[in-house]
Amino acid sequence: MLLKRFSKAILIFSLTSLTFAEEELTGDCQEIETYLTKKDLNFNTVIGDTCVVNKDGKVINLNISSVDDEIFKDLLKYDTIENL
């Protein structure tokens, strides 16, 4: 009985940990995060959870929130973006 409860607790903990694990950025998304950080902006606030790269690490999908024109233009320089 105790072993059963312990197993359930471990399972719940494991699933919760996986759900809240932060995905590591790669390719252009990592470059964009660095750029925004240098501009004193939070990547998650500006981009949210939609920054997708292709197999070559080039950004193909980007969700941009409210930013000023300069930053918006800089982000649009990635010519591989298919969806905004």
**pLDDT, tens only, 5-47:** 655 555 555 544 443 445 688 899 999 999 999 999 998 888 8
Residue 25 pLDDT: 84
Assigned domain for 84 exists: yes
Assigned domain for 4 exists: no
Assigned domain for 13 exists: no
Assigned domain for 16 exists: no
Assigned domain for 11 exists: no
User: Domain containing 28: what range?
Assistant: 23-84
How far, in Å, CA of 34 to CA of 24, rounded? 13
Query: Residue 80: is its pLDDT beyond 80?
Result: yes
Residue 28 pLDDT: 92
Total domains in the chain come to 1
DSSP 3-state assignment of 26? coil
Assigned domain for 7 exists: no
Query: Residue 81: is its pLDDT beyond 70?
Result: yes
| pLDDT, greater one: 75 or 24 | 75
Assigned domain for 67 exists: yes
